Every structure is written in C-alpha cells, then in structure tokens.
A and B are shown apart, each in its own frame.
Chain A
C-alpha cells in the first residue's frame, strides 16, 4: 500500500460511517483489495486527521446510484440510459494510442499501458456542472505515474484524452448533440497533480461500462465532464486542445471547468449542490473542497478562465 498519497481529510468518509455501509461489505468481498486498503492505512490514517468544516458528513453514495445515475451521452442523454445501453459494451481487448509530443508514439494494449502501476482507492467527491454531486470510492492510479512512464517531450504543455468513437456500440453518437468523439484535456501541471487519477474500478470492482470502462480520467476539483470516459487516445500537445463541451457551448463551458461556487453557469447558480439522495442543497466548496490545487491557478482570473 503506497503511503505517499495524502488525500485531503475531507476526501474520506469517517471510518465509523464507512464500516457500516454495504459498500464495505461489497468491497471486503473483493479478496485482497478491500482488506489491504483498510488495513493499509488510507482510511485508518484519515480517521485521525482533522475534519474540515462543513464536509464531515461526506458519506459514500450507494453503488446503485454511482452506477445507475450517469452522464455518458454516448449511451444516451437520460441519467439511466448509460446503464441500460452500455451493458454489452466491449472493453476487452482495449487499445490506447499514445501520440503527439511524446518520445514513443505508439498504440498500447490497456494491460501493457498500466502494467505495474499501483492501483489504490481514492474516495472523491464528484460535482457535476448541473448542480448535483456524489461521493465515490474509485480504484485507480495517479495519472502522473503513467505520464512519467510515457515520457512526454519538453514541448508537451497539455494532455488530451479522446473517448472511443463507435456508433454501433454507442448509440448516442448517432445524434449530433455534441461534436463526436468526446475530447477532454488538461494542462500538464493539472495532469501531473497527485490528485488526478486514471480510474479502472469503483467500489473495489471492475469499472462498469456506464462509468467509463475500461479506463477513465478523474479530476476531483473539476466538474465531472472534464473527466473523460472509455479513453482510446492520449495525445500530448503544445497548444491548448479543443475540448468538446467548450466547443459546443463556449459561453457556458470553459476549458478549465474548476468547481467554483463563485462563478455561476450562465443559466444557473453554482453556489450550491444537491448530494444525490438528499433533499436539501448544500454549499459547493471552492475546487470541490480540494483547495490544495489553488496554487495551480494563482494569478488567474477564474471568472474569465471558467
């Protein structure tokens, strides 16, 4: 169990809450992973960490909601569509093309690409730009580790992630609601931040297709749409890549998309959010509560770079 991971105290559910949930039962039943994680310290360690005001009741969102309430327009725009339409989605074999400003441009099999990287559990808040949120125990590895392995050149200032384009398997791509394929990107320092992970599992299980199997990005301080799913291409670029939502409606969705209660969406407030399953709204936290990333944006006007 790596001990170099120091999540924000608020990232983690207090153990007392956590142990009582069926989430725990599900995780523990996955031999090895669950036990090792709990014994290994991430959770135990966090129990002694000081809690952050206002975030102490971050309870895991149930598995049913995490895997049944999804925005994955490739499988339909309804929240329940991805679960319905992605069941036969083929994730094996899976190839990922690595290209652009990188020492070795080539296509890897997924196994080859992630072989030897340390999978750990990260409990993150997920805040959707639509104003709802959940708390998800992801399993994944730091994107930083992968990038270091791939060896981008000095000109690599951004890294771009492309989702699979497959009209047959992804019926949503037959309607021109967004410019397909879905593309998202990060600035290099954002990608290298230890909070940025590549996800291959959730709740200790293999990532279900509706959550972006077999591999997706997860950037917890940004609105959910930044974290691309079912990734088939990683490209390092010198210039800022075009990104899908920004291209579709630039006035409403920026490149950065940092969770920010002070910068409203043009049509709705971002000051509060509804945690799925709750009746009343709660305050949205700056950078979704991951304030350690603030230094990445020092000196930037976040109302302009939204």
Chain B
C-alpha cells in the first residue's frame, strides 16, 4: 500500500524560530537585571548597592544598545567568512532591540536630566559634541527601525532599501564615538567597542576587496 517516497534528504525542522525566542529573552534580560538592581536591590541578580540609579540606567541601556548594534553588524562578516548564512535571519531582531535600548537611553536622558524641557535639550545637543553625535546616531536609527518590515522592503525595493540601511555604518561610528567622547580619561570599555567596530568594518572592507 505504501509507496516508498523517492529518496531525498530528510527535511530538518527550521530551528531559527525557536532560537528567536531565546534571542528575545536575551535582549530583554538587561532590562530585567536593571529593574532588579534598582527596585529589588539586586535580590536576583546580585551586584552592589546602586548609588546612582540614573547613571546605571543610562550606562546600562547605552551599553546594551551598542553591543546589540555591533552584534547586528557582525552578521554579514560571519556569513561571508564562516558561511554562517543563518546569522542574517537574526539581524533585524537584534537591530530592533538595539533601537529599543537606544530609545530607552535617550528617553532616560530627556526625563531625568532635562525633565522633558525641550529648550535645554536642544541647547545641550547643539553645545555638546558628544551629545550631538549620540543624538544623531539615535535619530538615524529611527528610519531604519521604521523600514525594517517586509512591507517596507517591498515598497522601497531591495536596492533602495539596502542603500538606506547602509546608514547603520555612520550610526555605529557615531554611537561608539559618543561613548568614547564622554569619558574623563581613556577607559577600557569604549576602547574595546572602538576596536570591535574597527574590526567589523575592516573585515567588510577586506572581504569586498578580495
């Protein structure tokens, strides 16, 4: 009765959707840790007494956003160098979470540092180079987040969409510069982020040249 199907490679179940759930959790975990440290005194995640909650919120969201941005930028080099084609399927999610944390970062600055007073916000942006580059970085992220859907890719067409999304390079450079610029002395973390960014951009350049 049964007809043996023609021999074919067994179809493996797509694992990406399952892993996406894990990525969601990982991308939201920094917020949970932050909430625990500030509101629950680190009951679940440990950590020291928080002396300056606003500083923690701003550093934490800023750092998370930059890390995700750099991870998103790593997708293409990993695909090219190691043949990991799956990386591209997580890129949008990671990019959107980078935008999400960057938005929290900017909002916390609007609210805590300026109590939403628009005049002083604009004044600060204009007068302080490191704030200006940070703000530009976030503003440029907005169109990328908005056009991240399949509908927008179709509407713009692949070529146009790709060109628009190349904005991610200046965004990453401005973001890292923003971090580098606000430290009192050359500190470890911003230098590491800069090194990572240079590496990621360097690999692209090298791959293209080949």
Contacts and interface: CB of A to CB of B under 8 A. Distances in A.
A in complex with B: yes
Interface of A: 64-65, 68-69, 73, 77, 79-80, 130, 132, 177-178, 248, 267-269, 272, 274, 276-277, 279-281
A68 B48 contact: yes
B128 interface: yes
A71 to B, nearest CB: 9
Contacts of A130: 184
Given A130-B184, A269-B124, A279 B49 contact: no
Interface in B115-165: 115, 124, 127-130
SS class, residues of chain A in contact with chain B: loop
Interface stretch (B17-25, B51-59, B73-81, B94-102): B51-59
Contacts of A248: 185
Contacts of B130: 267
B76 to A, nearest CB: 34
B51 A69 contact: yes
Contacts of A65: 49, 51
Contacts of B181: 267
Contact of A267 (B49, B51, B128): B128
B51 A276 contact: yes
Interface in B181-195: 181-182, 184-187
B192 to A, nearest CB: 14
B86 interface: no
Contacts of B52: 69, 79, 132, 274, 276-277
A132 B184 CA distance: 14
Given A69-B51, A274-B55, 11 more contacts: A65-B51, A68-B48, A68-B51, A132-B55, A267-B128, A268-B128, A269-B127, A274-B54, A279-B53, A280-B112, A281-B112
Nearest to A177: B185
A215 to B, nearest CB: 24
Contacts of A276: 51-52
Contacts of A177: 185-186
Interface string B22-58: 0000000000000000000000000011011111000
A262 to B, nearest CB: 14
B187 A77 contact: yes
Contacts of A132: 52, 55
B124 A64 contact: no
A64 B128 contact: no
Contact of A68 (B49, B55, B112, B184): B49
Contacts of A281: 112-113
B112 A178 contact: no
6 contacts: A64-B49, A64-B51, A68-B49, A80-B48, A274-B55, A279-B53
